[in-house]
């Protein structure tokens, strides 16, 4: 028997962005911009797509559905079922508003959650005391 996963319709927002439901095709991880940009530099080409929202200020990574269960990295927030993310249109790479810091290219949207966690922890390590 074929079971279809319910995909809620994306809601359009201002500027061509869409409000999309997490927990269906992807989960996401919200990271404060200062830490997120350091983590992005650490990840390099191991990073999938990243959205930057200068209004929060924060960056978001897309990770595999369900992989944020038990996520407990301080000062970050997992987005899964019942949560939403404002996703910019593909060509938007600068503000104002949410934009792609790293666009999904060649279908590469997802970042490995273990690699992301390690990069975030490495990004905050210099600021933690001994």
Q: What residues does each domain of the chain span?
A: 11-127
Q: What is the mean pLDDT of residues 71-84?
A: 94
DSSP for 9-75, please give it. PPEE-GGG-EEEESSSS-EEEEEEHHHHHHHHHHHGGG---EEEETTTTEEEEEE-TTTTTT---TT
Report the percentage of the chain scoring pLDDT > 90: 75
User: pTM for this structure?
Assistant: 0.87
Q: What is the mean pLDDT of residues 105-114?
A: 89
DSSP 16: G
> What pLDDT, on a 0 to 100 scale, did the predictor assign at position 4?
42
Please give the Cα distance from 13 to 124 (Å, whole number): 33
| Tokens matching residue 43 | 């990840």
> What pLDDT, on a 0 to 100 scale, did the predictor assign at position 7?
52
């Amino acid at each position: 028997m074929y079971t279809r996963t319910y995909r809620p319709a994306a809601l359009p927002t201002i500027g061509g962005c869409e409000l999309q439901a997490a927990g269906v095709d992807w989960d996401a991880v919200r990271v404060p911009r200062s830490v997120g940009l350091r983590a992005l530099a650490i990840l390099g080409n191991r990073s999938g797509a990243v959205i930057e929202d200068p209004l929060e200020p924060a960056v978001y990574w897309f990770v595999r559905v369900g992989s944020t269960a038990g996520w407990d990295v301080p000062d970050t927030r997992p987005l899964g079922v019942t949560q939403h993310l404002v996703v910019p249109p593909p060509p938007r790479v600068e503000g104002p508003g949410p934009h792609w810091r790293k666009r999904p290219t060649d279908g590469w949207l997802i970042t490995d959650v273990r690699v992301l966690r390690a990069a975030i922890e490495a990004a905050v390590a210099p600021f933690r005391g001994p």
